[in-house]
Amino acid sequence: SGETIRPAAVCVYHPFVATAVEAVRGTGIHVAAVSTAFPHGLAPLSTRLQEIEASVRDGADEIDVVIPRGLVYGAKWRELFNEIVAMRAACGDAHLKVILGTGDLATLRNVMLASMVAMMAGADFIKTSTGKESVNAPPPVGLAMVRAIRSSFEETGYLIGFKPAGGISTAKVCLDWLVLMKEELG
């Protein structure tokens, strides 16, 4: 068919954004920056927002942020919402991927609620994991997240993207995720 298989994006830490942008210029490959004190997300909010803005200035067109998991443990949903809204604003025109760190969230209820808050706050994508947690992207977490996406779509008509990450390393596991996406989101 003449189609070329290529990655959608390269994902780099902030110091490498400008180099990556130059390296992929003209290829159609996006540059994603892992921002907000990846992978822990524990720097002050002002520092995390400055990192997003710097990555966008350097040419990143996708920003991967990580939520502070403590806000989920404490059920501080409004604070989590407000932080993600601020991150969304700092992204400007760049896509916002919100990494939930689901391996650290303890319950599927927390995964579902964090997914809904992230989408309501302006996430373009929700992502399971940083890839650095001890548990990354098990299928039940994926199911909870894509059902949250489906619920949001039914309410708003706006479809949010989904990215499973970490430990998806065989064709068989990839097929499981493809089936999940087909069955739940069409």
Task: Please give the positions annotated as active site.
Answer: 64, 127, 163
**Cβ neighbours for 83, distance < 8 A, ≥ 6 positions apart:** 45, 67, 68, 71, 121
The 8-class DSSP code of residue 104 comes to: G
Alpha carbon distance 78, 137 (integer Å): 26
**Cβ neighbours for 118, distance < 8 A, ≥ 6 positions apart:** 67, 84, 98, 100, 126
Alpha carbon distance 126, 1 (integer Å): 32
Q: Residue 84 in contact with residue 119, Cβ under 8 Å?
A: no
